[in-house]
Amino acid sequence: MVRAISSLIGAAFVFVLAIALFGTVKTAVEEPAAESAEHVFHLGPREADLPSAGLAGKFDNRQVQRGFQVYKEVCAACHSLKYVHFRDLTKIGYAEAEVKAIANQWVIEQPSINPETGEAATRKNAPSDPFPSPFINEIAARAANNNALPPDLSLMTKARHDGPDYVYSLITGYQNQPARLLKEFPGAKTPAGLHYNPYFANLNIAMPPPLTADGQVTYADGTKATKDQMARDVAAFLTWTAEPNLEARHAAGLAALIFIGIFCFLAWGAYQNVWRDVKH
């Protein structure tokens, strides 16, 4: 009796769910949701064509160093890099003396406590320190950026789909709103204080264009610093900060594929040897 009642209750539950699902599907077919401006005008990222892309991708240390220079002179004014330490720069070709000089000369110093008075103080950065945040806390960051919070960039290329391409496209994607958008969606005009960028999810971003002109950064290696070049370079740098062991991972994956290939060939050979005298 109990089993029959349980089965009946279960069948009723499934029936109700089926009715609800049918109603949802019917509504979606008969009354489809109106397209939004974001759905129509949002663009997928353009390829940055970085050397680190692909199964056998490797970092170009010269490019990554140029990207670090762009971050240092442009992005570091607003964006933190809290999961990266100054000493990590040795992995992209900087000598220890260079890293020490970079840390010591970094504009923003590390928060500290005066041992004599117990009051808040600052000290010079050391290679073992993480890159310091440009703001003392979130409130200060929002106050300086029209209430928008600049995200930390350490893992940005891992946090976004097609991360390196996304960063490159976003930085170079600022433009005026197309007339078609304003014609089809009159209420989608970019609000004051925001900037139109079709590579951003809702089309309007609080960050102003970070790269405004060619030559904004003077590269130490003499590379011509066009806006496109600077965008690619900083995308390469942020790819490295998010996954500094990318080359080792690619090498391990390639070795695993080679091993699997050899193993399959040996297994096939063993199979042929074991069953060679067996007639089918």
Q: Which residues are annotated binding-site positions?
A: 75, 78-79, 207
Residues contacting 242, CB < 8 A, separation 6+: 154, 155, 156, 157, 158, 159, 163
What's the rounded Cα separation, in Å, for the pair 52 and 15?
53
Task: Give the closest residue to 229 by CA, choosing from 209, 241, 246, 215.
Answer: 215
Positions at the binding site for heme c: 75, 78-79, 207
* Residue in 50, 94, 59, 63 with CA at minimum distance from that of residue 223: 63
Q: Which helix (H) or strand (E) holds 269?
A: helix 246-274
Q: Is 244 exposed, middle or buried (0-12, 13-18, 19+ CB in 10 A)?
A: middle
* Rounded-to-integer distance, Cα 73 and Cα 105, Å: 13
